[in-house]
């Protein structure tokens, strides 16, 4: 039998596959993402470092056990667990997605897939001695639970089945790599640092997370954008497990009466950067996550954080994007118009309008910022660039 992810939709992952994944060797993963592994003076003990602002910063500790498996903790020797947990910690993937990725189980075929085939453990992929070592693991398998098929490969449902669950942020990384990445996209350092102070941005070791909170400032939706070139294209944007997309990330500005609704976190930063280029107060920006996202605007799922921002708005602008073809453009325009319609219902006192990038200035508002900076607005950013250099 040729294994694919469709076989596990609505089913528990077999314990034998969970055990196989726990035998994952993390060294190549760490190396590919810029981590540095150093022996800790004891056989089988290692420390994991990442480049900080001006030094190597220890972030994790690893131990290779005599029976042939790895375990991990944080730099203080606390928390941690097996390699499935570590893979989730490093990548931000959900449990099932991590299992599939570690074992190389491909997505279900697009056509002709018997997604509900009986899974026979005897047909599990064998990996030599690693499979033989699975019996050595004395670890409970309570985490081998079925979840909704939409969670596979980072596609989280708009509202998770268990609304009491929360996404967990990993150890915060130094901000240098994130600042450098966003500087490459013409985001001023002052804007990036303001976003970090607000908690809108959370620096990761191999990416940047944009975070949406509830009224108690508990993270409820965390979306990661990879900034490491080695990460596969389909994983450049991944929602953390247990994320609830109704809790849209919000980057608050100096002018609460002006609100923008944009698709991505970098778009929100670009709105602030463009306002500063024009010498205007910065608006508040709400990250929708995509043209079809509506849960953050629906009355039954709108969080208090979004409701508060819309209540103070006098102008709400929904940012459209220029798509690659007419069919895609029609679909995304319909989604953005729907967002504008829901915004009017949520804030009847505000003027709601749609915006699209001028011809020749790119796909989205982040591209418009790059166009502006590259075509005569560089002087406005030069003091901040000088500070970083």
pLDDT in tens, 75-132: 877 777 889 989 988 888 888 888 888 888 876 555 444 333 333 333 333 333 333 3
Q: In the 3-class helix/strand/coil scheme, how is 279-315 assigned residue by residue?
A: CCCCEEEEECCCCCCCCCCCCCCCCHHHHHHHHCCCE
Question: Per-residue confidence at 308, pLDDT binned at 50, 70, 90?
Answer: very high
Residue-level pLDDT at 378? 43
Q: What is the DSSP string of 159-227?
A: S-S-TT------PPPPSHHHHHHHHHTT--HHHHHHHHHHTSEEE-SSEEEEEEE-TT--EEEEEEEE-
CB 45 within 8 A of CB 59: no
For CA atoms 122, 127, 130, 132, the dihedral sign is: positive
Residue-level pLDDT at 9? 56
Selected residue with higher pLDDT from 139 and 348: 348
- In the block, residue with structure tokens 């602030």: 272
Mean pLDDT confidence for 33-37: 84
Q: Which SS3 state, helix, strand or coil, does residue 85 take?
A: helix
3-state helix, strand, coil split of the chain in percent (to 5) is 35, 20, 45
Nearest by Cα to 97 from 1, 202, 220, 13: 13
Start-to-end CA span in the chain (Å)? 57
Two tokens at 56? Answer: 């190597």
Bridging pattern class, strands 351-355 and 315-319? parallel
pLDDT 10s digits, 349-361: 999 999 999 999 9
Bridging pattern class, strands 207-213 and 219-226? antiparallel
Across all residues in the chain, what is the average pLDDT? 78
Residue-level pLDDT at 239? 84
Q: Tell me which range, 14-28, 88-102, 199-213, 305-319, is most confidently predicted by mean pLDDT.
A: 305-319
**In the chain, where are the structural domains located?**
5-140, 176-388
Residue-level pLDDT at 381? 34
Q: What angle do CA 169, 174, 180 make, to 5 degrees?
A: 110
- CATH of 5-140, picked from 2.10.109.10, 2.30.130.10, 3.90.580.10, 3.30.365.10, is 3.90.580.10
Any idea of the CA torsion for 273, 275, 281, 285, to the nearest 10 degrees? Answer: -70
Cross-strand pairs, 226: 207
pLDDT 10s digits, 171-204: 788 888 899 999 999 999 999 999 999 999 999 8
Q: What angle do CA 237, 241, 245 make, to 5 degrees?
A: 70
Two tokens at 185? Answer: 């996209």
As to burial, measured by CB atoms within 10 angstroms (0-12 exposed, 13-18 middle, 19+ buried), residue 275 is buried
Mean pLDDT confidence for 317-340: 93
pLDDT 10s digits, 199-233: 999 998 878 999 999 999 999 999 988 886 655 55
Query: How many C-alpha atoms does 209 have within 13 Å on its Cβ side?
Result: 30
Cross-strand pairs, 145: none
Q: Is the pLDDT of residue 309 over 90?
A: yes
């Amino acid at each position: 039998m040729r294994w694919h992810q469709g076989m596990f939709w609505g089913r528990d992952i077999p314990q034998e596959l969970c055990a196989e994944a726990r035998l994952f060797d993390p060294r190549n993963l760490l190396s590919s993402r810029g981590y540095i592994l150093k022996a800790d003076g004891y056989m089988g003990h290692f420390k994991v470092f990442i480049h900080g602002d001006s030094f190597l910063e220890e972030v994790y500790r690893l131990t290779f056990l005599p029976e042939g498996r790895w375990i991990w903790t944080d730099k203080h020797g606390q928390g941690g667990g097996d390699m499935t947990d570590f893979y989730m910690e490093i990548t931000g993937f959900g449990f099932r997605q991590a299992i599939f990725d570690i074992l190389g189980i491909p997505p279900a075929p697009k056509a002709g897939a018997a997604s509900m085939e009986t899974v026979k453990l005897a047909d599990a992929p064998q990996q030599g001695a690693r499979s033989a070592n699975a019996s050595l693991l004395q670890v409970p398998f309570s985490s081998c639970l079925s979840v909704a098929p939409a969670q596979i490969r980072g596609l989280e449902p708009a509202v998770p089945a268990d609304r009491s669950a929360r996404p967990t942020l990993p150890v915060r990384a130094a901000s240098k790599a994130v600042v450098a990445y966003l500087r490459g996209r013409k985001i001023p350092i002052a804007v990036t640092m303001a976003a970090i102070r607000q908690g809108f941005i959370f620096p990761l070791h191999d990416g940047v997370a944009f975070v949406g909170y509830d009224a108690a400032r508990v993270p409820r939706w965390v979306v990661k954008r990879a900034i490491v070139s080695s990460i596969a294209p389909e994983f450049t944007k991944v929602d953390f497990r247990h994320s609830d997309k109704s809790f849209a990330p919000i980057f608050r500005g100096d002018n609460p009466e002006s609100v923008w609704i944009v698709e991505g976190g970098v778009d929100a930063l670009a709105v602030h950067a463009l306002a500063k280029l024009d010498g205007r107060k910065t608006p508040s920006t709400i990250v929708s996550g995509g043209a079809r996202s509506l849960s953050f605007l629906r009355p039954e799922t709108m969080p208090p954080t979004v409701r508060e921002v819309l209540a103070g708005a006098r102008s709400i602008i929904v940012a459209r994007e220029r798509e690659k073809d007419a069919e895609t453009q029609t679909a995304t325009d319909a989604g953005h118009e729907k967002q504008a319609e829901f915004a009017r219902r949520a804030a009847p006192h505000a003027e709601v309008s749609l915006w699209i990038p001028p011809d020749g200035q790119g796909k989205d508002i982040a591209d418009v910022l790059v166009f502006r900076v590259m075509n005569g607005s560089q002087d406005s950013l030069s003091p901040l660039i000088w500070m970083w250099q």
